Amino acid sequence: MDYNKLAELLFPNITKDPADYEKIYPERKLPAGAKVTRLGPSPTGFIHLGNLYGAFVDERLAHQSDGIFYLRIEDTDDKRQVEGAVEAIISSLEFFGVTFDEGASMEGDKGDYGPYSQSQRAEIYQTYVKQLVQRGEAYPCFCTEEELTAIREEQESLKENPGYYGKWAKHRDLSAAEIESRIQAGHSFVIRLRSKGTHDCAEEEIKTISVEDGIRGTLTMPENDQDVVLLKANGIPTYHFAHVVDDHLMRTTHVVRGAEWLPSLPIHVELFHALGWPLPVYCHTAQLMKMEDGNKRKLSKRKDPELSLDYYRSEGYHPKAVREYLLTILNSNYEEWRMENPDAPQEAFAFTVEKMSNSGTLFDLDKLNDISKDVLVKLPASELCEFLKAWAGAYQQPLVGLFEGREEYLMRILDLGREGDKPRKDFVFARQMFEFISYFYDDYFKIEDAYPENVSNEDAKIILSAYLEGYDHSDDQALWFDKIREIATANGYAAKPKDYKKNPELYKGHVGDVSTVVRIALMGRAMSPDLWEIQQILGEENTRERIKKSI
Residues that bind ligand GLU (CB under 6 A): 40-42, 74, 243, 255, 257
Give SS3 for 257. strand
Minimum distance of ligand GLU from residue 69's CB (angstroms): 13
Residue closer to ligand GLU, measured from CB, 74 or 223: 74
Minimum CB–partner distance for residue 118 and ligand GLU (Å): 9
SS3 415: helix
Other Cβ atoms closer than 10 A to 414? 23
Rounded to 5, what percent of the chain is helix, strand, coil? 50, 10, 40
Least distance from C-beta 225 to ligand GLU, angstroms? 22
Of the residues 5, 301, 378, 461, only one is catalytic, namely 301
* Identity of the residue, 250 or 484, whose beta carbon is nearer to ligand GLU in the bound complex: 250
Nearer to ligand GLU, 104 or 174 (CB): 104
Contacts for 257 with CB less than 8 Å, ≥ 6 apart: 40, 54, 282, 283, 284, 285
Residue nearer to ligand GLU on the CB measure, 42 or 328: 42
Q: 8 vs 3, 167, 242, CA distance in Å?
A: 9, 27, 21
Report the residue number, 42 or 224, with the smaller CB distance to ligand GLU.
42
Beta-strand ranges (E) seen in 21-144 are 36-39, 68-71, 102-103, 138-141
Cα separation, 375 vs 458, in Å, equals 45
| Residues facing 191 on adjacent strands | 140, 231
Q: Find, among 15, 24, 19, 60, the residue nearest to 39 by Cα.
A: 60
CB 381, min distance to ligand GLU, A:
40
284, 215 in Cβ contact below 8 A?
yes
Measured from each CB, the residue nearest to ligand GLU is 74
- Dihedral (C-alpha) 430, 432, 438, 444: value to the nearest 10 degrees? 100
Closest distance to ligand GLU from the beta carbon of 42 (Å): 4
Q: At what angle do helices 319-330 and 365-378 cross, to 10 degrees?
A: 130
Between 143 and 259, CB nearer to ligand GLU? 259
Q: How far is the CB of 210 from ligand GLU (least distance, A)?
A: 21
The residue count for the chain: 551
The DSSP secondary structure of 476-528, one letter per residue, reads -HHHHHHHHHHHHHHTTEESSHHHHHH-GGG-SEEHHHHHHHHHHHHHS-S--
d(CA 490, CA 316): 47
Residue 301 a catalytic site member: yes
Considering the complex, what minimum distance in angstroms separates the CB of residue 68 from ligand GLU?
A: 16
State which residue, 244 or 410, has the beta carbon closest to ligand GLU: 244
**Active site residues per annotation:** 301
